[in-house]
Amino acid sequence: MQCFYAPETDLHDPIFRLTNGKIQRNAERAERARLLMAGLEQMGLSTETPPEAPRSTLEAVHTEKFLAFLETAWEEWQKLPDCGPEVVPQVFPKSEVATYPENIVARAGWHFGDTSAPIGEHSWAASRRAADCAVAAADVVLGGAPSAYALCRPAGHHTSADIAAGHCLMNNSAIAAARLRTGHARVATLDIDVHHGNGTQEIFYDRADVMTCSVHADPSDYYPFNVGHAHEVGRGKGLGFNLNIPLPRTTTDEAWLAAIAASLEAIAAFQPGALMVSLGLDAHENDPLLGMKVSFDGFRRAGEMIATAGYPTVLVQEGGYLSPDLTTSLASFLSGFLGREG
């Protein structure tokens, strides 16, 4: 299986994070890549550096205003008096009557849903190259490979067409799904990150050609809180093509795997030509964000189930945070997915 990783993504190493009113170190650290690379090495998999994807692949998902903001925000932020080292929003316009702002402070609030995805000096380059990894993996599968993996940092599935959030900048998963759509009439997405893939859902919510499925911790008491409920089933042409399966934070292997099986059953009825998996590993019992209690064997079995479904599949890395177990979680999933020992 071809795997893609861009060293430039390590340059994104954010500092700021606000949790329950307390400033903490951001969880989306560059060290995550080292732990994930170790998991690939355990499986005997090497990585390739992706080519730069056409900007049109980003514009298939994101607005031009949003992309321009990501590209220029840090330099403009540096012109502010006594500015901090990262772009962190401090105002969030909520009014239905609002004019797109020119001021960088206001634009930060316009394009961010929360404070957890600060933009540093190299964040644009990193997020651009993360998207390149997702596109390269999709292109390999479009070319006939049964599967490919994209080691993307920063993550992406909380970002909508023009609002970044939840440690995410560009939505790499949605970009990969949209790229697969260029070669298939229907594409399905399966998000097994412990957090609901709210950005991916919003991007495809009105569409009948991309089905979105997400298995995640119940948002009634877990991020992203206000979206990810079972009654969200799509809108307009997309009605019936969005599936959410929220689970308690006490969930262990059997209930989690049953939800994945139910998602795969719905996907089979949809009959997609290809599958994009948002591969979050933060449902593990020792992940520091404490969302669920899935074991290494649970990840192995999930990989096996997804591979058995038989679709051309792109795996896009999402969450999974700083713990030595992150390495083993990835190796466990891939051992099941590839049908061999980790």
Active site residue 216: no
**What's the CA gap between 330 and 149, in Å, rounded?**
11
Domain total of the chain = 1
pTM for the whole structure: 0.97
pLDDT at 285: 96
**Residue tagged active-site, from 158, 167, 184, 216:** 158
Give me the CATH number covering residue 248.
Answer: 3.40.800.20
Per-residue pLDDT, averaged over 302-316, amounts to 98
Domain of residue 219 covers 2-338
Q: Chain-wide mean pLDDT for the chain?
A: 96
Over residues 163-188, the mean pLDDT reads: 98
**3-state secondary structure string, 220-272?**
CCCCCCCCCCCCCCCCHHHCCCEEEEEECCCCCHHHHHHHHHHHHHHHHHHCC
Place of tokens 């550096």: 49
- Span 2-21, pLDDT tens digits: 999 999 999 999 999 998 89
Task: State which H helix or E strand residue 2 sits in.
Answer: strand 2-4
Whether the CB-CB separation of 227 and 198 falls below 8 Å is answered with yes
What type of residue sits at position 19? Answer: T
- In three state form, how does the secondary structure of 146-204 look? CEEEECCCCCCCCCCCCCECCCCCCCHHHHHHHHHHCCCCCEEEEECCCCCCHHHHHHH
pLDDT confidence tier of residue 94, bands split at 50, 70 and 90: confident
